Every structure is written in C-alpha cells, then in structure tokens.
Structure 1
Amino acid sequence: MSRARSAHLLAGLLAGAGAAHFLMPKPFDAIVPRSLPGSPRTWTQASGVVELALAAGIALPHTRARAASAAAAFFVAVAPANVKMAVDWRDRPAPLRRAAQARVPLQVPLVLWARQVARDAGR
C-alpha cells in the first residue's frame, strides 16, 4: 500500500469515528470512564472533535507527520475507555462481548499504524 493511501485510510477511519461520536453518541457516553470529571457527553463530543481534527491533519501532507503522531498518542489515551467497555460488557451475549474485548488489543495496531504514517510523512 502506498504511503499516501495508508495515510488517507487512517484519516478516513478517524473521520468516520469522529462523526459517529455525534451521530450516535450514547454508546460512546457509556464507555467514558467514570473517573473523568464532567459529563460523559462532553467527553464523547470532545473525543469526536479530536478525531475529526486528527483526520483533517493526517489528510493534509504538510500536517500529516504531527497529526499522525498525535493520533498515536490519542489511541493510547482512549484505551481506558475500551477496557471499560470490555469489563462492562462481560455479561452481554458472546458476539457483543467478543467485539468489546477485541477493541482492547486493536489499539496496538492502530498506534503502530499512526506511527508508521508519521514516519512516512517525515521522509
């Protein structure tokens, strides 16, 4: 896959996720760790804004390296929400439980992908 295509796919993933935070906020509200101050909806919307901004930054070649590095950090930062979802969904039907559990290790390839896009953009 070309460097530009990889970057655009990552930007698309982030844009889709960011839009989903506004179009379907309730599932995201539910996974906001309770230890965070303020309302879960505020965190859901803030996360959506960050994802949309990262998508825009990655889509543009002159901001791609910095935005992709920030995306890697963002993927690490949202990992606790994915852990919370996996714990909260432990009593759900097996397909839903497995999907929630899969989100936790999925953060690793997302971080690595974002780091690779950042490295490629710096070349």
Structure 2
Amino acid sequence: MRRVRSPHVLAGLLAGAGVTHFLAPKPFDAMVPRTLPGSPRAWTYASGAVELALAAGVALPRTRERAATAAAAFFVAVAPANVKMALDWRDHPAPLRRAALARVPLQVPLVLWARKVARDAG
C-alpha cells in the first residue's frame, strides 16, 4: 500500500508547492539567486509551473517514471535557492533561521524519494 501511495503524496507535495508559488510569490522571489537573468518573479512563476507539471506527471502512472526522475533533478536544481535563503536569513530570529537552514538538507530526502518513485514505476 505504501508504494502505491508514495507517488501520490509526492505529487501532492509538488502541487502544493507549485500553487504556493502563485498564491504567495514574494518569499520565493527572495530566494532566486541574483546571478540568474531576468526578474525573480518570472523565476518564481516558472518554478511553480514546473512543480505543477511534475505533480501531474508523477500522479499519472504512464508518465510517473520520467516525471519522478525529472522531479529529482528539479530538487537538485533548486538547492542553490535554499542555500541562498539560509545565508540571507542569518540575521533573522532563531526560529526562522533554523527553518531556513533546515531547507538545505531537506533536499536530500526529496531527491531520494523522487528517485525511489521513479524506480518503483519502472
């Protein structure tokens, strides 16, 4: 049962994060590395759209393997934004600083989870 549910939970997490990028984009804008060209808001919306597309792909058995593999790559790709947030929030109150720092290692289990979903789908 767990194996069947895991892809749907991953899809739900991706969908929730994707929707949040559109409903409350400002915190995500601040995470966009300054080295990226264009506006932070464009990157926020683009990453939200990617998360929604990945969620749909992971939810569907036919596309699950490729979408979960892409989700793992996406989690790696957004890691610099989490590092930037942790660095930028060094002067925030301790609870916020800890939350920002926690996002960095959280990428590892997300990558491993997406890879497992991909392997199980194959």
Look up the equivalent residue of 1:116 and give its one-letter code.
K
Which residue matches 1:14? Answer: 14
- Is residue 55 from structure 1 mapped to residue 55 from structure 2 by the alignment? yes
Structure 1 residue 2 displacement after superposition: 2.0
**Alpha-carbon displacement from aligned partner over 1:83-103 (angstroms, at most 9, x marks no partner):** 000000001000000000000
Structure 1 distance, partners of 2:66, 2:48, is 19
Q: Percent of pairs identical after alignment? A: 84
CA deviation map 1:15-73 (0-9, x unaligned) = 00000000000000000000000000000000000000000000000000000000000
Counterpart code for 2:47? S
| 3-state SS, counterpart of residue 35 of structure 1 | coil
Match of 1:24 in 2: 24
Q: State the SS of the aligned residue for 1:34.
A: coil
For 1:85 and 1:60, the matched residues in 2 are separated by: 32
Question: Which segments of 5 or more consecutive residues in structure 1 lack a partner in the other structure?
Answer: none
Aligned positions of 1:88-103 closer than 5 A: 88-103=88-103
TM value normalised by structure 2: 0.99
Write the letter of the residue equivalent to 2:111.
V
- For the residue of structure 2 that corresponds to 1:36, the secondary structure is coil
Shift of 1:117: 0.1
Distance in 1, Cα, partners of 2:31 & 2:70? 22
Instruction: Number of aligned residue pairs: give it.
Output: 122
Distance in 2, matches of 1:116 and 1:74, equals 15
Measured in 2, the distance between the counterparts of 1:98 and 1:65 equals 34
What is the match of residue 34 of structure 1? 34
Q: CA deviation at 1:120?
A: 0.3
Task: Name the structure 1 match of 2:44.
Answer: 44
Distance 2:55 2:18 in 1: 9
Which amino acid is 1:111 matched to?
V
Equivalent residue letter for 1:82:
N
What CA RMSD, in Å, does the superposition of the two structures yield over aligned residues?
0.6
Q: What secondary structure is seen at the aligned counterpart in 2 of 1:89?
A: helix
Whichever residue aligns with residue 85 of structure 1, its letter is M
